[in-house]
């Protein structure tokens, strides 16, 4: 299996001196292409910090993060934005849709930034909205959708540009059980069919029951790493 995410002695310290807090304590981890992996742990365990390191939202105090062999902790701001745009898809707990854009405009946004031509964008938007069960909703604004529908749009947006990796931060936290299960079915199908790598940060038992690997963080370190 090809390694797609790797961390080497990854640490993050907030504050200085007596006020210093070690959020991550030398994490060594490899994640292979096509994995469906959940990062779990109690509040304060380092999950959010770890995900921020992986995505380049924050920089490590020491150690390295590489994605597909590229050391993202060494990239400039512009290089990092370009890399994320072409390789990572994001699904957030709070949806993070652009409120003034329609469903189809939200979904095609990254492809527009990538410079994809209009015909390709429209065909891809139509295809992915059909995949997530939202055909016919193209012209609606986010405020005209239920929470479950908005999260489906967020999933569609993350998938539309065919990224190598999907980073999902508590993607089912604001959804009822039935809607969350339906979204998980869809994401699991896309993982198995298209080989997209999924990395979840979650407290949700439903996600943990589907994950083929569960990494438990405790006090900023890996407490256990279970492959199923």
3-state secondary structure labels for all residues of the chain? CCEEEEEEEEEEEECCHHHCEEEEEEEEEEEECCCEEEEECCCCCCHHHHHHHHHCCCCCCEEEEEECCEEHHHCCHHHHHHHHHHHEEEEECCCCCCCCCCHHHHHHHHHHHCCCCHHHHHHHHHHHHHHCCCCCCCCCCHHHCCHHHHHHHHHHHHHHCCCCEEEEECCCCCCCHHHHHHHHHHHHHHHHHHCCEEEEECCCHHHHHHCCEEEEEECCEEEEEEEC
Query: Domain coordinates of the chain in residue numbers?
Result: 3-227
| pLDDT mean over 176-185 | 85
| pLDDT score of 66 | 95
Tens digit of pLDDT for each residue in 193-219? 888 899 999 988 999 999 999 999 999
| pLDDT score of 95 | 84
Percent of the chain residues past pLDDT 70, beyond the cut: 100
Paired tokens of 190: 């896309």
| pLDDT score of 1 | 79
Neighbours of 211 (CB within 10 A): 23
Split at pLDDT 50, 70, 90, the class of 13 is very high
| pLDDT score of 29 | 96
More confident residue, 139 or 177: 139
Residue 154 contacts residue 92 (beta carbons within 8 Å): yes
3-227 is classed CATH 3.30.379.10: no
Split at pLDDT 50, 70, 90, the class of 159 is confident
| pLDDT score of 171 | 86
More confident residue, 185 or 93: 185
When the pLDDT of each residue in the chain is averaged and rounded to a whole number, the result is 91
User: Number of C-alpha atoms within 13 angstroms, CB side, residue 35?
Assistant: 22
| pLDDT score of 172 | 84
Considering only CA atoms, which of 226, 151, 225 is closest in space to residue 181?
Answer: 151
Our CA angle for 114, 120, 124, nearest 5°, is 95
Neighbours of 65 (CB within 10 A): 23
Residue 25 contacts residue 219 (beta carbons within 8 Å): yes
More confident residue, 139 or 17: 139
Q: Check pLDDT > 80 for residue 161.
A: yes
Q: Check pLDDT > 80 for residue 27.
A: yes
Residue 99 contacts residue 141 (beta carbons within 8 Å): yes
| pLDDT mean over 13-34 | 94
| pLDDT score of 160 | 87
């Amino acid at each position: 299996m090809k390694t797609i995410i790797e961390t080497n002695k990854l640490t993050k310290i907030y504050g200085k001196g007596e006020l210093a807090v070690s959020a991550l304590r030398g994490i060594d981890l490899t994640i292979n292409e096509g994995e469906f992996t959940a990062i779990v742990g109690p509040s304060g365990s380092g999950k959010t910090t770890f995900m921020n390191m992986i995505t380049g939202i924050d920089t490590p105090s020491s150690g390295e993060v590489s994605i597909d062999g590229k050391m993202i902790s060494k990239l400039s701001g512009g290089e990092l934005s370009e890399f994320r745009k072409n390789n990572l898809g994001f699904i957030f707990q709070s949806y993070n849709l652009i409120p003034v854009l329609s469903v189809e405009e939200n979904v095609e946004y990254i492809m527009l930034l990538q410079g994809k031509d209009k015909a390709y964008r429209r065909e891809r938007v139509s295809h992915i909205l059909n995949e997530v069960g939202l055909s016919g909703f193209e012209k609606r604004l986010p405020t005209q959708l239920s929470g479950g529908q908005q999260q489906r749009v967020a999933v569609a947006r993350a998938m539309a540009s065919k990224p190598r990796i999907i980073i999902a931060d508590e993607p089912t936290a604001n959804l009822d059980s039935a809607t969350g299960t339906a979204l998980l079915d869809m994401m699991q199908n896309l993982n198995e069919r298209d080989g997209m790598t999924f990395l979840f940060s979650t407290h949700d038992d439903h996600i943990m029951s589907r994950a083929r690997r569960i990494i438990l963080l405790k006090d900023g370190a890996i407490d256990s790493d279970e492959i199923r």
